[in-house]
Structure 1
Amino acid sequence: MTATAKPQSKFSTVIRVTSGNFIEMYDFFLFGFYATYISKAFFPSDSEYASLMLTFATFGAGFLMRPLGAILLGGYIDRIGRRKGLVLTLGIMATGTAMVAFIPSYATIGLLAPLLVLVGRLLQGFSAGVELGGVSVYLSEMATPGHKGFYVSWQSASQQVAIIFSAALGYILNESMSKEVIADWGWRIPFFIGCMIIPIVFQIRRSLQETEEFLAKKHHPTFQEIMRALTINWQLVVSGMMLIVMTTVSFYLITVYTPTFGKSVMKLSIVDSLLITLFVGLSNFIWLPVMGALSDRIGRWPIMALFSGLALFTAYPTLNWLVENPSYEHMLAVELWLSFLYGSYNGATIVALTEIIPIQIRTTGFSLAYSLATALFGGFTPLVSTWLIETTGDKASPGYWMAMAGGMGLIATALIYKGIVKAKV
């Protein structure tokens, strides 16, 4: 379907554009959900800690490719169009997903196994570098006036659907298969399912129309012009990165790292950890559009300042309380509180980032800020959390990491909305 085809409904368009976002995030979460099994299959070691660290390092390596993807693919989308760029990112991501799903274990092909897993993760990271930015910008440009916060929130909400689906699938597998079977080959089943879904999502995304706002632009910047504008607005990109640090750190802490934390630290069963992750996904799914819509009414900055401040002052105390009073119910309560902080902050922040970046570099600037935050902070949250606990002996120490992220979000909100950092044309 081309840009000249008949108009699509808003609901249909949201489903079409976020479908690729769902599958992209689905595979990212699977890597974290099954980190223990992946570590044994591809990174065998006498030390469970060393094996897990290598796995999370590989998980984090994918995020290092995001800034490169943001610049190259983001520039392509700002120059060629939103629709074509989103189709391209889906194709690159599909290649990385298939590699992780079908690569034989270390026992079969030796060192080639972890190397190929790393390549697959790098491809996923490269495409993800612009996926979230491309989807967010598309949603902001197709939104009805006065409702951008609500529409853009569905970018993050689609990620929660991926979490819910992944956790539910993991729960079913753990209930229907023995631990030995899952550790041997059963953990690959969700990756195979992802590969089966990709062709369907690809057809859905191909039917997207170009946004009217992009079509109305009289000048589409060259790559050199985009790079020049990014350089001029470097302070804005860095401030945007600081805004997103709170989003990415809290998100990966309460989703990807939760199963590992529940199993390895809290000594809960993997089923209980997956159930908590499922409830967190549901909670996020509710709070994101609610707070996105609220930000349309009262403004972005009050919500961003309040919830980044709450993260700064409550992340460690709540995790410390959990560690001192370990139970399934207490972990669920703490995770839902952190989910409330994440969903509320993110519901206002993502749309805010689309608004503060100049239109000529909207996708590139958004994606670069988001990618830097993820590459330098959020993506390494499972690795940092594992390291902090091992080094300090404090099981609640990941709370310090989230508190730091909350502080950065609070500072960035003040810099941007007090006019200290402004866009330059």
Structure 2
Amino acid sequence: AAPIMVLVGRLLQGFSAGAELGGVSVYLSEIAPANRKGFFVSWQSASQQVAVIVAGAMGIGLSTLLDNEALHQWGWRLPFLFGCLIVPAIFFIRRSLTETPEFAARTHHPDIKEVLHSIWGNMRVVVAGAGLVVMTTVSFYLITAYTPTFAKTELHLSNFDSFLVTMLVGISNFIWLPVMGALSDRIGRKPLLIFSTVLAIATAYPSLAWLASHPSFERLLEVELWLSFLYGTYNGAMVVALTEVMPVAVRTTGFSLAYSLATATFGGFTPVVCTYLIHALDNRAAPGIWLWVFWPIVTTDSGLS
């Protein structure tokens, strides 16, 4: 029953993320002061890093307190049980929110048919938005979800080292995202998107090649923190930009569709593709190729200014 329960739970998580991520981002954008939207919206992504930090900390704790036999027999269930405890709190928060003034002021709220028609009419913007999102989903999965596997199976580091790096990357992301969101309010979204893209093109593969040449905890941490800086810079500006380019009538649906398209088609496959590339090319730096491919996808004709 365990595999079935885990599968159902993961599907429910996916449905939740797909339904709420766009709504949360748009909600924060609409309640924010006009000159602080980047800072407010960045907390959607920053809040996800709390989960990364907690997951890393739990990995450290379990790998320290339990031996491998206990961890594989029953210890792996503890993070799942802990994750379930947050559901009632999230339900309470969601139920207690009030509508934003911008939404409440609208005299017409489109029905499903009107929403679908508008989405189809604005599909070019949705696809362009998905292009903006691809990089952030690929880099997020690489530096968080894939790090423990990469560190243990390819770099042959300990569980403690890999989970510690994951936790520290979560902390780094948590710091950079609101900082860069606030900076985007001052200098604009596009400069940060271009700045982080150029740096990533120049450094993504070389940094991972440097790590692969002499794997160590110190090198893994340095490379991951550098990629975290690039991710935080890009994502801090990207999420608010995506809320701004979507038509008002379908802002939440368009945002969610763009994000889901990018995650389902590219980002979510990052661990699998990275593992395949490493073995197919016999190159432990191959994840840098996958990351490098998507950093240049910055859509300059999507309405950004």
TM over 0.5: yes
Report how many residues are paired: 305
Give the 3 Å change call, closer, same or farther, for CA 194–120 of structure 1 in structure 2.
Answer: closer
Deviation digits for residues 202-232 of structure 1 (CA, Å, limit 9, x no counterpart):
2233221111111111110111111111111
Aligned to 1:70: none
Aligned to 2:274: 385
Shift of 1:160: 0.5
Give the 3 Å change call, closer, same or farther, for CA 355–241 of structure 1 in structure 2.
Answer: same
TM-score, normalised to structure 2, is 0.97
- CA RMSD in angstroms comes to 1.4
Shift of 1:417: 4.8
Q: Percent identity?
A: 59
Deviation digits for residues 1-47 of structure 1 (CA, Å, limit 9, x no counterpart):
xxxxxxxxxxxxxxxxxxxxxxxxxxxxxxxxxxxxxxxxxxxxxxx
Give 3-state SS (helix, strand or coil) of 1:415's partner: coil
Aligned to 1:205: 94
Moved more, 337-346 or 384-393: 384-393
Aligned to 2:167: 278
Aligned to 1:136: 25
Moved more, 166-175 or 368-377: 166-175
Alignment gaps of 5+ in structure 1 = 1-102, 105-112, 420-425
Deviation digits for residues 228-250 of structure 1 (CA, Å, limit 9, x no counterpart):
11111111111100100011000
Deviation digits for residues 120-167 of structure 1 (CA, Å, limit 9, x no counterpart):
433322222122111100100111120000000000000001111111
Aligned to 1:24: none
| Aligned equivalents of 1:202, 1:119: Cα separation in 2 | 19
Partner residue of 2:133 out of 244, 248, 258: 244
Deviation digits for residues 343-392 of structure 1 (CA, Å, limit 9, x no counterpart):
00000000000000011000000000000000001011011111111211
- What is the letter of the counterpart of residue 139 of structure 2? S
Give 3-state SS (helix, strand or coil) of 2:145's partner: coil
Aligned to 1:234: 123
Pairing 1:148–2:34 present: no
Indicate if the aligned counterparts of 1:140 and 1:152 stay in contact, CA closer than 8 A. yes
Give 3-state SS (helix, strand or coil) of 1:150's partner: helix
Pairing 1:366–2:255 present: yes
Give 3-state SS (helix, strand or coil) of 1:407's partner: coil
Q: Which has the higher contact order (CA 8 A, sep 6+)?
A: 2
- What is the letter of the counterpart of residue 246 of structure 2? I
Pairing 1:196–2:57 present: no
Aligned to 1:224: 113
Indicate if the aligned counterparts of 2:190 and 2:304 stay in contact, CA closer than 8 A. no
- What is the letter of the counterpart of residue 314 of structure 1? T
Partner residue of 1:257 out of 142, 146, 149: 146
Indicate if the aligned counterparts of 1:280 and 1:339 stay in contact, CA closer than 8 A. yes
Pairing 1:400–2:289 present: yes
Structure 1 segment 321-340 matched on structure 2, within 5 A: 321-340=210-229
Partner residue of 2:10 out of 121, 141, 144: 121
Give 3-state SS (helix, strand or coil) of 1:145's partner: coil
| Aligned equivalents of 1:146, 1:184: Cα separation in 2 | 52
Give 3-state SS (helix, strand or coil) of 2:195's partner: helix
Give 3-state SS (helix, strand or coil) of 1:268's partner: coil
Give the 3 Å change call, closer, same or farther, for CA 287–276 of structure 1 in structure 2.
Answer: same
Alignment gaps of 5+ in structure 2 = none
Give the 3 Å change call, closer, same or farther, for CA 127–198 of structure 1 in structure 2.
Answer: closer
Partner residue of 1:164 out of 37, 53, 71: 53
Pairing 1:184–2:99 present: no
- What is the letter of the counterpart of residue 301 of structure 2? L
TM-score, normalised to structure 1, is 0.70
Shift of 1:172: 1.1
Indicate if the aligned counterparts of 1:258 and 1:277 stay in contact, CA closer than 8 A. yes
Indicate if the aligned counterparts of 1:148 and 1:351 stay in contact, CA closer than 8 A. yes
| Aligned equivalents of 1:257, 1:418: Cα separation in 2 | 31
